């Protein structure tokens, strides 16, 4: 009795654990999304979750904003203390170390131009209705840009060079504090551990999924940003490191999310998976379980046709040819020869087919002899035997 009870309790506990691991959880300021199907994100603007489970930030229509937030606020200074006991005011406490990783993809109709970019950010509010679209990425506006009251930390993936904001190129990763003008930015790339740590360039708008890690360290106030192609594990050396004390920026309770805004070029910004942790490494994302990017254009589907269509056509022609040949042979084999004298003496004759059948195809076994009129065979007529 006692045993069954504890077994039931164990099973109940296990099933609760299993339920928790499929959805994102916020216990201890940690969560993971492996795809977003059924996820409880807070979306606004044109942000949507596709049926495949991709978080799609823009949809191709110009000058629109998109935001997607983890629904619950996180505590960057005060961690909720397990076992109760009020933690008092956290205003004097430093911002904890935190770690973010996510998988994204940028698909633009042009090979090296897409608008305007996307960003991961931490914000005290989910209400960014006053922010401007286009180059402000839906995060700031000409009124709020640079204001310390924003309390916003951003890592931008910028695909347009905007000289007003001193952008270095049209393919950079930038660390921004309270402003769309980056504190530091880096041409997108990674230090390849498989090649003596040499720097390899990456193209943000490559239509391929890529992974990014953002790690903040409380002790050193260092922000490390690392990017890599999806199949490559986290490179040892980050693409960029910025020293900035985020304790002077972030509020204790803040939201984490993604932002994007469209320009005039039809570009899609997708997030495939996302994980986050305070005081620890962001949980590893199982890349084999991520949703697939949409198939692009008629190219890939016509590729199948390109190969199968000629084969099918060739097969069809071959089959028709064989049938025609067979019919022709049949026609020749049973061809009738009509002689002039027949017209006079009436139609008393055996068809060639009947003679052929009667002699089983003029087999030698039925050959009686050969003479001036030709060969003479013995045969049994089917009709009269």
Ligand X SMILES: *[C@@H]1O[C@H](CO)[C@@H](O)[C@H](O)[C@H]1NC(C)=O
Toward ligand X, which CB reaches closer, 137 or 358?
137
Distances (CA, A) of 264 to 3, 115, 173: 67, 7, 21
Toward ligand X, which CB reaches closer, 242 or 358?
242
DSSP per-residue codes, 122-139? EES-S--TTS-SGGGTTT
Toward ligand X, which CB reaches closer, 95 or 272?
95
Q: Which long-range contacts (CB under 8 A, 24 or more apart) does 36-41 make?
A: 36/271, 36/291, 37/291, 40/71, 41/68, 41/69, 41/70, 41/71
- Given candidates 44, 78, 87, 94, which one binds ligand X under the rule CB under 6 A? 94
Residues 27-46 that bind ligand X (CB under 6 A): 40, 46
| Pair 359, 340: CB distance under 8 Å | no
Give the three-class secondary structure for 47. coil
What is the total count of residues that contact ligand X (CB under 6 A)?
23
- Given candidates 18, 130, 149, 337, which one binds ligand X under the rule CB under 6 A? 130
CB of 46 to ligand X, least distance (A): 4
CB of 141 to ligand X, least distance (A): 6
Using CA atoms in the order 105, 110, 111, 112, what is the torsion angle rounded to 10 degrees?
A: -90
Give residues with Cβ within 8 angstroms of 179, minimum separation 6.
140, 145, 146, 150
Under DSSP, the state recorded for 245 is -
Q: Which window, 53-61, 174-182, 209-217, 345-353, contacts ligand X (CB under 6 A)? A: 53-61
- Rule CB under 6 A: say whether 25 interacts with ligand X: no
Toward ligand X, which CB reaches closer, 72 or 357?
72
| Pair 276, 282: CB distance under 8 Å | yes
Toward ligand X, which CB reaches closer, 101 or 144?
144
- Rule CB under 6 A: say whether 113 interacts with ligand X: yes
CB of 243 to ligand X, least distance (A): 9
Give residues with Cβ within 8 angstroms of 171, minimum separation 6.
112, 158, 159, 187, 188, 203, 204, 205
- Given candidates 6, 20, 21, 127, which one binds ligand X under the rule CB under 6 A? 127
Under DSSP, the state recorded for 304 is H
| Tokens matching residue 176 | 């921004």
Residues 54-83 that bind ligand X (CB under 6 A): 59-61, 71-72
- Give the per-residue contact string, 231-260, with ligand X (x = CB under 6 A; - = no): --------------x-xx------------
- Given candidates 99, 170, 182, 268, which one binds ligand X under the rule CB under 6 A? 170
Where are the extended beta strands (E) located within 84-221?
Answer: 98-108, 117-123, 153-158, 172-177, 184-187, 189-192, 198-201, 210-217
Q: Which window, 6-14, 97-105, 126-134, 354-362, contacts ligand X (CB under 6 A)? A: 126-134
- Rule CB under 6 A: say whether 203 interacts with ligand X: no
CB of 245 to ligand X, least distance (A): 4
- Given candidates 187, 280, 283, 294, which one binds ligand X under the rule CB under 6 A? 187
Distances (CA, A) of 153 to 33, 206, 253, 262, 274: 21, 26, 13, 21, 17
- Given candidates 119, 132, 157, 173, which one binds ligand X under the rule CB under 6 A? 132
Give residues with Cβ within 8 angstroms of 279, minimum separation 6.
29, 79, 96, 97, 98
Q: Which window, 124-132, 279-287, 297-305, 377-385, contacts ligand X (CB under 6 A)? A: 124-132
Chain residues that interact with ligand X, rule: CB under 6 A: 40, 46, 59-61, 71-72, 94, 112-113, 127, 129-130, 132, 142, 169-170, 187, 201, 221, 245, 247-248
């Amino acid at each position: 009795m006692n045993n069954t009870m504890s077994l039931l309790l164990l099973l109940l506990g296990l099933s609760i654990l299993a339920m928790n691991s499929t959805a994102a959880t916020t216990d201890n300021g940690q969560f993971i999304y492996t795809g977003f199907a059924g996820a409880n994100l807070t979306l606004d603007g044109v942000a949507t979750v596709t049926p495949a489970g991709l978080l799609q930030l823009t949809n191709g229509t110009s000058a629109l904003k998109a935001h997607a937030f983890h629904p619950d606020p996180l505590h960057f200074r005060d961690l909720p203390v397990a076992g109760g006991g009020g933690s008092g005011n956290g205003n004097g406490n430093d911002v904890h170390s935190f770690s973010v990783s996510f998988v994204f993809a940028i698909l633009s109709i042009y090979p090296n131009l897409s608008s305007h970019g996307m960003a991961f950010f931490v914000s005290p509010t989910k209400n960014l209705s006053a922010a401007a679209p286009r180059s402000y990425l839906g995060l700031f506006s000409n009124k709020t840009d640079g204001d310390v009251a924003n309390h916003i930390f951003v890592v931008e993936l910028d695909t347009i060079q905007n000289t007003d904001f001193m952008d270095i190129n049209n393919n950079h990763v930038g660390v921004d504090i309270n402003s769309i003008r980056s504190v530091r930015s880096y041409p997108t790339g990674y230090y390849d551990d498989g090649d003596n740590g040499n720097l390899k360039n990456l193209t943000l708008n490559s239509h391929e999924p890529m992974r990014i890690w953002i790690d903040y360290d409380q002790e050193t106030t260092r922000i490390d940003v690392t990017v890599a192609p999806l199949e490559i594990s986290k490179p040892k050396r980050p693409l960029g490191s910025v020293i900035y004390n985020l304790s002077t920026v972030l509020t204790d309770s803040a939201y984490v999310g993604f932002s994007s805004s469209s320009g005039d070029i039809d570009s899609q910004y997708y997030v495939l998976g996302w994980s986050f942790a305070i005081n620890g490494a962001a949980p590893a994302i199982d890349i084999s379980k991520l949703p697939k990017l949409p198939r692009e254009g008629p190219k890939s589907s016509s590729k199948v046709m390109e190969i199968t269509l000629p084969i099918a056509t060739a097969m069809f022609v071959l089959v028709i040819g064989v049938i025609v040949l067979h019919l022709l042979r049949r026609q020749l084999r049973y061809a009738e020869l009509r002689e002039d004298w027949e017209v006079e003496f009436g139609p008393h004759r055996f068809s060639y087919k009947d003679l052929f059948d009667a002699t089983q195809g003029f087999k030698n076994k039925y050959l009686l002899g050969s003479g001036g009129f030709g060969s003479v065979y013995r045969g049994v007529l089917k009709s009269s035997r």
